[in-house]
Amino acid sequence: MAEKREPAAGSPFKIEVEAPEQWQRVLKIEVPRPYFDREYMERLVASTKTYQRSGFRQGKTPRSVVEKELGDRLRAETFEQLVPRAFQAAVIEHKLAPLTDPKLENLSFEDGQPITFDLVIEIRPSVEATDYENLPIQESAATVDDSDVDELLARLRASRAIYEAVQRPATAGDQITVDLVPFGPDGEPDTERQATGQKLLLGAEHNLAAFNTGLEGAEAGTERELDVTYPDDYPNDALKGQTVRFRCSVTEVASEVLPELDDLFASQLEEGQTLLELRGKIRAQLTTDAEARVSNEMDEQVVDELIKRHEVAVPPSLIEQYVTSGVEQLQARNLQQGRQMTEEQEREYRELTQPIAQRVLEGMFIMEAIRRREEITVTDAEIDDRIAEIAAEHQFDLEKYREYVIEGDEREKIRHGLAERKTYDFLLSRANVTPATAAAQQAAADGQADSGP
């Protein structure tokens, strides 16, 4: 149903507003013909004063001649000047908060008649938060067991592994040093393009498949010829989809040697540290991570329950902005790694991200509505405390970090993060939370007790 108002004082436009969608408004504008004609005449008079036509001095060309030659252009310019004025008037009169620039539709421009047209915009949906008590939330246990600690220790050992030359055939996991000579179009080795001392980890996923299969079993001193086919999305345009023959001369096969898992290894990570102390620190960090994961899972349940209880029409433009931002970030990461996103990959990413964007934005609007209703705010003192916490967590110089926060928009980001956390905590305090099972809690406690100091 259209909301109709007479022109506001000082405004020549008649404006009706229709809402075909919660997120959409259609501004139906009527411009009285006398008003348009006055605006057009002022433009025509101004043009006549400066117009110069062959046979007339500047400014002396009859107005009728000027109108005949410039009239269509001047009418178009007059209309173009009126559209933003009408839009501004509609925004003020109807207290709108547009998300998009207006789209012009249904223009009627008949002689002697008012000029009418529609301006279509998207707006932030109006969300009324009404049902957010007793949300059913299931808490899981933040458990960490010995296998988790062992797994992280294994990764730490692997990060400090060394490779020692061996005299045997290469197997998956060995590091091979190889000289590569590509063959040219004439079928002869192109020694000018030779790449020497290239190291590759045999069997690694990022290797081209031909190198993994073709060099398996090779020993130092072995020479092999391989046909290597490059994928269609290979970052080097000259090689995309091409098959190149290489002469591969293996100069070394090296096997991974892991350090012993003992106090010496622990002390290399932190002076004076024992293996038992390292295991305890790892368990403590994993427990902190597990608790954060549990907290995040509960937050996600809160959002899911809120979305079930509220209907939110998210403007398509916001979904598109969210998805496009993700595409741009992914493209930037790919470029840093020497890859390029294909059109097919971008299309697939957009399809997968659309429902995620929908959910994130629905949750955002509902949470904002709850904050407004419950008057959840963040004080400057709370922001200052959080700044000090962040500096301590990351070992920043506090005063320099404060300067950084003041210079940019970091302070507002911190304010938003605190407000969001307060809102989650408020909702969880009123939720129907089913705690983690006693058995799971006891298992978590037993695991921590076994870890030692």
pLDDT in tens, 19-67: 999 899 999 999 999 999 999 899 888 888 887 777 676 767 788 887 8
Last residue of a domain, one of 229, 257, 285: 257
> How far apart, in whole angstroms, are the C-alpha atoms of residue 29 and residue 16?
7
Q: Classify strands 432-434 and 136-138 as parallel, antiparallel or unpaired.
A: parallel
Last residue of a domain, one of 122, 152, 172: 122
Q: How far is CA 287 from CA 269, 293, 333, in A?
A: 20, 10, 30
Q: Are residues 270 and 416 in the same domain?
A: yes
Q: Are residues 446 and 336 in the same domain?
A: yes
**Structural domain contains residue 130:** no
Per-residue pLDDT, averaged over 325-352, amounts to: 88
Q: Are residues 233 and 377 in the same domain?
A: no
Q: Are residues 199 and 276 in the same domain?
A: no
Q: Are residues 435 and 292 in the same domain?
A: yes
Per-residue pLDDT, averaged over 324-338, amounts to: 88
**Structural domain contains residue 65:** yes
We report the CATH number of the domain holding residue 277 as 1.10.3120.10
Q: Are residues 193 and 221 in the same domain?
A: yes
Give me the pLDDT at residue 322, please: 94
Q: Are residues 297 and 440 in the same domain?
A: yes
pLDDT at 6 over 90: no
**Structural domain contains residue 315:** yes
The answer to whether 120 touches 105, Cβ cutoff 8 Å, is yes
pLDDT digits (tens, 9 = 90+) for 111-152: 889 999 999 999 988 889 999 999 999 999 989 999 999 999
Computed on alpha carbons and rounded to an integer, the radius of gyration of the chain in Å comes to: 35
Give me the pLDDT at residue 297, please: 96
**Structural domain contains residue 15:** yes
Question: In total, how many domains does the chain have?
Answer: 3
Total Cβ atoms within 10 A of residue 283: 21
pLDDT digits (tens, 9 = 90+) for 154-204: 999 999 999 999 999 999 999 999 999 999 988 899 988 999 999 999 999
Q: Which residues pair with 5 in a beta bridge?
A: 15
pLDDT digits (tens, 9 = 90+) for 266-307: 999 999 999 999 999 999 999 999 999 999 999 999 999 999
Give me the pLDDT at residue 1, please: 44
**Structural domain contains residue 384:** yes
Q: Are residues 428 and 300 in the same domain?
A: yes
We report the CATH number of the domain holding residue 29 as 3.30.70.1050
Query: Is residue 228 classed as helix, strand or coil in its secondary structure?
Result: strand
Q: Are residues 91 and 217 in the same domain?
A: no
pLDDT at 11 over 80: no
Last residue of a domain, one of 215, 236, 257: 257
pLDDT at 339 over 80: no
> How far apart, in whole angstroms, are the C-alpha atoms of residue 207 and residue 231?
12
Return the minimum-mean-pLDDT range out of 244-253, 259-268, 397-406, 437-446: 437-446
The answer to whether 191 touches 181, Cβ cutoff 8 Å, is yes
**Structural domain contains residue 145:** no
Mean pLDDT of the chain: 89
Q: Exposed, middle or buried, 452 (CB in 10 Å: 0-12/13-18/19+)?
A: exposed
pLDDT digits (tens, 9 = 90+) for 372-402: 999 999 999 999 999 999 999 999 999 999 9
Instruction: Give 239's contacts (C-beta < 8 A, 6+ positions apart).
Output: 230
**Structural domain contains residue 142:** no
- Pair of tokens at residue 439: 């058995």
Strands (E), 8-89: 14-21, 24-31
Q: Are residues 251 and 297 in the same domain?
A: no
Sign of CA dihedral 439, 440, 441, 445: positive
Percent of the chain exceeding pLDDT 90 equals 72
Half-sphere exposure of 125 (CA within 13 A, CB side): 24
Q: How far is CA 409 from CA 324, 362, 400, 415, 416, in A?
A: 22, 24, 15, 10, 11
**Structural domain contains residue 369:** yes
Per-residue pLDDT, averaged over 319-340, amounts to: 88
We report the CATH number of the domain holding residue 238 as 3.10.50.40
Give me the pLDDT at residue 162, please: 93
pLDDT at 263 over 60: yes
Q: For residue 226, what are the domain limits?
A: 162-257
Q: Are residues 437 and 319 in the same domain?
A: yes
Q: Are residues 277 and 244 in the same domain?
A: no
Q: How far is CA 236 from CA 94, 192, 233, 269, in A?
A: 55, 19, 9, 40
